[in-house]
Amino acid sequence: MTSLAAPIVLAEVGWMTMGIVDTMMVGRQAESSVAIGAVSLGGMLYIAVAIFGAGLMLGLDTLVSHSYGAGDLDDAHRSLVNGVYLSLGMAPILMGLIRLCEPLLRALNIETPVLDQAIPYLRALNWSTVPLLLYFVFRRYLQGINLVKPVMFSLVSANLINLVGNWALIYGHLGFHAMGTVGSGWATCFSRIYMASVLMVYCLYYDLRYKTGLLDASRWPHMPRVRKLLQLGFPAAMQLGLEVGVFAVATALIARLGDIPLASHQVALNTVSFTYMVPLGISSAAAVRVGQALGRHDPHAASRAGWTALALGATFMACMAILLWTVPHYIVRIYTPDPVVIRAASSLLFVAAFFQLFDGLQAVATGALRGVGDTRTPMIWSSVLYWFLGLPLGAYLCFRVGWGAVGLWTGLCIALVLIGSGLLYVWRRRERTFAEGDISHSPAA
């Protein structure tokens, strides 16, 4: 589990680092809180839509890992080809939805300086939708057949491109004109094109070297396979979309409090998103290991893989909870020297310390259940508790009780505690069916 999860974790950390670099680079401009707030607003709205398309590709985790575990690479190749078709079909739809977010932003009474930077930044990000979806397709395929180092390399090296791109395009270096905050969006766009290209080239290289049969696979779409990907991926996409959507709505609500609360929210959100990348990477490894075990009809190995992943994720997030609780000020100073933002963001990190463990449990349990082929249960738990409990409670504490951004984070914290506990219970019940040798409901069967 560790050998598979470690490169994926580094890849997830690399993914999150790109957002952190964007925030840090724009935060060094004269209007630090305005620029950070614009990146927060534009980035959250983009991800809230684009993550749905990325979530549709999560069905590849189940199908490819089951095929690989059963020794059927041809079937894994068919899933990859149809995943490409699915991503190309979804991209124009998602790009249109992202463009429709602009009137929504204007209707929220957000401060004009923040809005003037957020909309151009969002438009630049929108052009990265096609390469982003293709990247997720190739990544899921490679992870499913245990090739995770190329995924790690693509993201680590893309961070260098993103860093140089931010430096050149925001502040006007290497012969470029200074573009300000929107330059950060274009740097991210170019980095995603690079990431997708690296993984596509590696897939072709691996096939040419080891003769896996990828180039011989049918290039025509196979609608039953596309439907299967949608059947597995749609609930996972809904879960991701609803989860990210909650934080996007929270970001928009906090934006109404002013640029300081919005900047502190962005700093705290970047921090907890960074810690979340580790259990998210372990979650992907859990999906692959559980799926491969079921593909070779070894239910006891599937059970062991799930519990091992949960133990790794819980241990790491418990350590992060202690860190956020004890030294929040030092963490916030990495992002900004503004003492007002430091105080406000530190209060949010104090709240975040209480949900770290449960956030890790829900992430890893979701991956383990995805390996089984169960993507609906996490969707139901997340949608109900985030949208019908966490967000309304947080809004009440924020605006009615007067807790501000801390109130919104408190509501979401309570929802996460319940989601993590609930999905752990669901996995325990499912694991008992493995112990009895019942895999009749898995996709492999």
Q: How far apart are the first and last CA of the chain?
A: 24
Task: Determine how many CB atoms are found less than 10 A away from the CB of residue 167.
Answer: 17
**What is the Cα–Cα distance from 30 to 114, expressed in whole angstroms?**
13
pLDDT the model gives residue 28: 76
- Sign of the CA dihedral 186, 191, 194, 199? negative
Q: What is the pLDDT of residue 25?
A: 86
Task: Look at residues 298, 416, 431 and name the one whose alpha carbon lies nearest to residue 351.
Answer: 416
pLDDT given at position 161: 94
What pLDDT tens digit does each residue of the chain (445 aa) get? Answer: 888 898 888 888 887 788 778 878 887 777 777 888 888 788 878 887 888 888 889 889 999 999 999 889 999 999 999 999 999 999 999 999 999 888 877 877 777 888 888 899 999 999 999 999 999 999 999 999 999 999 999 998 999 999 999 999 999 998 888 888 899 999 999 999 999 999 999 999 999 999 988 888 888 888 999 999 999 999 988 888 788 778 878 888 888 888 788 888 988 988 898 899 899 999 999 999 999 999 888 888 999 999 999 999 999 999 999 999 999 989 888 877 888 888 999 999 999 999 999 999 999 999 999 999 898 999 999 989 999 999 999 999 999 998 999 999 999 999 999 999 999 999 999 888 766 655 544 544 4
**Rounded distance, CA 253 to CA 272, Å?**
19
3-class SS shares of the chain: helix, strand, coil, % to 5:
85, 0, 15
What pLDDT shows up at residue 437?
Answer: 59
The secondary structure of 291-341, three-state, reads HHHHHCCCHHHHHHHHHHHHHHHHHHHHHHHHHHHHCHHHHHCCCCCCHHH
- The residue with tokens 């290039």 is 219
Q: What's the CA gap between 246 and 390, in Å, rounded?
A: 9
CA dihedral 403→405→411→417, nearest 10 degrees, is -120
CB proximity list for 206: less than 8 A, separation 6 or greater: 147, 212, 214
pTM here is 0.81
Question: In this structure, which amino acid lies at residue 53?
Answer: G
Residue (of 248, 254, 212) closest to 395 by Cα position: 254
Q: For the chain, how many residues are written? A: 445
CA atoms of 242 and 48, how far apart (whole Å): 8
CA-closest candidate to residue 267, choices 349, 171, 186, 373: 349
Amino acid at 323: L
Which pLDDT score, from 0 to 100, does residue 441 have?
47
Q: Which residue from 199, 74, 224, 195 is spatially nearest to 143, judged by alpha carbons?
A: 199
Say what the pLDDT of residue 445 is: 45
| Chain-centroid distance, C-alpha 13 | 10
pLDDT for the residue 124: 93
| Residue type for position 429 | R
